[in-house]
Amino acid sequence: MQTPNHIEVRPLLPTDAVDLRELRLEALRLDGRSFASSYDAEEKLTAADWERKCTEKNDLCTLGLFSKGELIGMSMVYPWEEDATGETAVLGQSYIKPSYRGFGLGKSLFARRLEWCRKSPQFMSAVLFIRDGNAASTALHAAAGAEYTEPKLMDWADGKKAVGHWYKIELKRPEIEAAPTYRRYALH
């Protein structure tokens, strides 16, 4: 396959719910060992559940990766349950159809996720986890500047316990980066 063209990354809309369901179930069927959820659990979700996943909010966004209008990839941003302040986002549920891998599209999707998080007023940092052995995802996130924090033994959707490698990203706010820097000068 030649390099895909006409690539677009955008937040999904409720009208994308049927396509998201198909893509997510494909991801869980073909690469289920990489996810914390299972095909069986997500197959039971209702149409309303899928529409909610496609409804952008201040703290939730499912991004779609499109080639010529076809949904070929996805990734979600949502609040991390373990952060009581709500200031940490989880970057998760990422998947790109196998025939579209190897063209750098994961970098585009990752960059767009971070851009979305930086615009969110509540998120100050983001975390993500990668199952041990997922070399492509590990390389992508390390190259993008994600800081490795720790390995954790986790329960995975395939019923196995395996190491999940956790990463953290401190999100920089455009308004903070653009703010003037003041120096203190000692008066003699």
Nearest in space to 24 (alpha carbons), one of 98, 127, 94: 94
Candidates 118, 107, 105; CA nearest to 144 is 107
pLDDT tens column, 12-52: 999 999 999 999 999 999 988 888 888 999 999 999 999 99
The domain tally of the chain equals 1
Non-local (6+) Cβ contacts of 74 within 8 A are 12, 20, 23, 24, 27, 62, 63, 64, 65, 93, 94, 95
Is 94 among the domain residues?
A: yes
Domain annotation covers residue 186: no
Quick check: is 161 in a domain? yes
Q: Is 182 contained in some domain?
A: no
Categorize the per-residue pLDDT at 157 as very low, low, confident or very high, splitting at 50, 70 and 90: confident
The structure's pTM equals 0.84
What does the CA dihedral 142, 146, 152, 157 come to, rounded to 10 degrees?
-80
CATH number at residue 28: 3.40.630.30
Report pLDDT digits (tens) over 124-138.
999 999 988 888 888
pLDDT digits (tens, 9 = 90+) for 94-145: 999 999 998 889 888 999 999 999 998 889 999 999 988 888 888 888 888 8
Q: Is residue 183 in some structural domain?
A: no
Query: Residue 47: helix, strand or coil by DSSP?
Result: helix
- Write down the pLDDT at residue 180: 44
**Does residue 174 have a pLDDT over 60?**
no
The reported pLDDT for the residue numbered 187 is: 40
Evaluate if residue 183 carries a pLDDT over 50. no
Residue 187 resides in a domain: no
pLDDT tens string 59-90? 999 999 999 999 999 999 999 999 999 999 99
* Residue 184: inside a domain: no
Look at residue 75 and tell me if it is in a domain: yes
- Quote the domain boundaries for residue 45: 7-177
